[in-house]
Structure 1
Amino acid sequence: MTSSGPALTNAHALAACAQELFLRDGFEQTTVADIARAAGVSSRTFFRYFPAKADVVWVESDAEIAVFREAMHAAPEGADVWRAVADAIAAALDHGDAEETWARHRAELILREPSVQAQAAVICAQWQSSIAEFVAARMGIEQSSAPAVAIAYAGVAASRGAHELWLSQTGLSLSECVFRMFELMRPAISTGIG
């Protein structure tokens, strides 16, 4: 891949370029210089956006977690908490059809590339904490209680399963996969919880 147009000078565009190279050439084999060259920028420009090459995978994480939290807390009082979590995950991860290739590349790297999985654990912990906080608030229980922790872990597992399904079923949207996995993985503790 070589630069074939104007320089890519925003974080998302650099991340998309890097992810494509990672999948084509291998994560370890792709250098920051390779990414910068393909994007038509300097390595210095790359490092203005990302401290390390693995960080490109998480370019949208802060925005996604903000949308996720807002969507959960916007669920009506009395709503099924498990469904509220599913709805919020689907909303947070919906980047539109124009970004499907980028999102699929990112999912593949998160699920399959050991070099990004350490950071994946940190990001998953943020999602789990957000779910547990929401469940605790809605159920009037402690965030560290068994129901809150169980639903938090189950929600992250269902999201991960949805991504696995999405990568193998190109005819389905990510949202369809999220709702399918959430239905299949509903924890017994969430039954009847409002």
Structure 2
Amino acid sequence: MTAGSAEPATPGARGGRKAAPRGENRSGRPRATSRRTLERIALELFSEQGFEATTVEQIADRAGVSRRTFFRYFDTKADVLWSEFDAEVETLHELLAQAPADQPLTEAIRQAVLTANHYGVDDIAGLHTRMSVVAHVPALNAASTAHYDNWAGALAEFAARRLGLRPDDLIPQAIGFSALGVCRAAFDQWVARRDGDLISYLDIALSAWKTGFSGFEER
């Protein structure tokens, strides 16, 4: 589901050794990389020296690849921050399209969200960096709304199909955004407590959402 100013750090190449040409290791063969590797390295640099001070060239250099390789995975530096989240939205579309017709709407949403999420304790540091960067860079913070809208929109489209309504009608929108709200609450609690996998928090929050929070009234 998913800045601050960090202490300045020395950019780019590490140590004092002579770097191999970009995209090659010392043997002259291209170094294997992946989207996840580039994302991890970019987040490290964002944490060390801030988002705006970090360049695509620095990310590529630390990964030992070319700028062209970076742009094969990401259109912009900012896309690194939302890559996993946007992939989750696509997964939600796919999972909800496959939901059995006789499965209750809210249960189908709960199951899809739990299946689409894969974050564990080891992911918290990187997610903290993401959240901090987005929160402290105004342009990124403003753009975050569109990503959250897309997440809620995936649920609204599914609800509209089930209910014979349009995705922008009130009830599908209410379903999408209310689910987004409880999932963001679960995410914040998980990051703050650092005591398990995100899925356990999502399960509790979505199970309560599915039942209209019955049993949680003040006593």
Scaled to the shorter chain, the TM-score interval is: 0.7 to 0.9
Which of residues 177, 196, 205 in structure 2 aligns to 1:172?
A: 196
Q: 1:151 aligned to 2:175?
A: yes
What CA deviation, in whole Å up to 9, does each residue of 1:146-172 have, x standing for no partner?
Answer: 211101111222222222112112112
**Residue 56 to residue 179, structure 1, CA distance change in 2 (3 Å):** same
1:68 aligns with 2:92: yes
The answer to whether the Cα contact below 8 Å between 1:132 and 1:144 also exists between their aligned partners in 2 is yes
Distance 2:133 2:211 in 1: 25
Asked if 1:181 corresponds to 2:196, the answer is no
Q: What is the TM-score when the length of structure 1 is the normalising length?
A: 0.77
Distance 1:131 1:15, change over 3 A: same
**2:127 aligned to which of 89, 104, 115:** 104
Contact 2:124 2:194 in 1 (8 A): no
The answer on 1:89 being equivalent to 2:138 is: no
Could you say if the C-alpha distance between residues 24 and 82 of structure 1 is closer, same or farther in structure 2, counting changes exceeding 3 Å? farther
Identity between Structure 1 and Structure 2 (%)? 29
Q: Secondary structure of the residue that 1:112 maps to in structure 2?
A: helix
Q: Which runs of 5+ in 2 are unaligned?
A: 1-11, 16-24, 26-30, 215-219
Letter in 2 for 1:177: Y
User: Contact 2:182/2:205 (CA < 8 Å) preserved in 1?
Assistant: yes
Q: What residue identity is the alignment partner of 2:67?
A: S
- What is the number of residues matched between the two proteins? 189
Question: Which structure has the greater CA radius of gyration?
Answer: 2
Normalised to the residue count of structure 2, the TM-score between the two structures is 0.70
Inter-partner Cα distance in structure 1 for 2:121 and 2:68: 28
Matched-pair contact (CA < 8 Å) for 2:121–2:195: no
Partner residue in 1 for 2:151: 127
**CA RMSD between the two structures:** 3.3
Structure 2 residue matching 1:176: 3-state secondary structure: helix
Which segment drifts farther, 114-123 or 145-154? 114-123
**After the TM superposition, which of the residue ranges 49-58 and 170-179 deviates more from structure 2?**
49-58
The answer to whether the 8 A contact 1:54-1:116 is kept is yes
Give the letter for the 1:100 counterpart.
Answer: D
Specify which structure has the higher proportion of helix. 1
Maintained 8 Å contact 1:68/1:92 = yes
Distance 2:70 2:63 in 1: 9
Structure 1 CA distance for aligned equivalents of residues 144 and 191 of structure 2: 17
